[in-house]
Each structure stands twice: as C-alpha cells, then as structure tokens.
Amino acid sequence: MQYRDLEKVRTIIQEATGLEVAYAYDDLVFPDHTAFIIQYHASDDTRFIYYHHTDCIPSEEKQLFKKLQASFEKQGCSLSSKSAFQLEQKGEHVEIQFV
C-alpha cells in the first residue's frame, strides 16, 4: 500500500474551507458534508484531483475550487478539477458514481 500524506491534505482542506476530513479511503479524501472529494494522483504526490458533488451550485463550486487550489499551491502542490460525482445509498453501503 502506498503512503499518502493525509495530514497535508487535512490541513489544506481546513485552511481553504474550514471543513474537517470525515473519511479517507485508499486514494480518496472525503470532507464533512461531502461537497467535494480529493483524490491523490497515482504517481505524483504533489498532484491532486478534485471532484464536486452534482448538487453543488455552480458559482459556489467554482469559488470552492479556487480556494482549494490556492491552498494546494501554497503547499507546493497542484489541484485539477476532473468531474462531478454523486452518492447513492445501496442498502448499508454508499456507492460513488463519477459523472
């Protein structure tokens, strides 16, 4: 399993949004309220990928991304926006669908 610096991402999210990290699984980081997800890049530990929830208001989502991007850059990292996602409850499990 690859080491991923969760504390760095936690600090960046907190600084940019005031949100705490609610959950981290493998290469994905889920902040409180799950308005967005941060994914670690597969081969570069200074690159990250941002996905926004489909329910985000477009103007607010853009502001959120800009704040996060600026915080990542302060830490010598880059953040790129990829697509949207939605969550679907399936029994006791939650499924992520990237759209």
Q: What is the DSSP string of 48-84?
A: EEEEEETTS-HHHHHHHHHHHHHHHHHTT-EEEEEEE
| Domain ranges for the chain | 1-20+34-78
Tell whether the model's pLDDT for residue 11 goes beyond 90.
yes
Is this model's pTM higher than 0.75 or not?
A: yes
pLDDT (mean) for 12-16? 97
Tell whether the model's pLDDT for residue 92 goes beyond 70.
yes
pLDDT for 28 equals 95
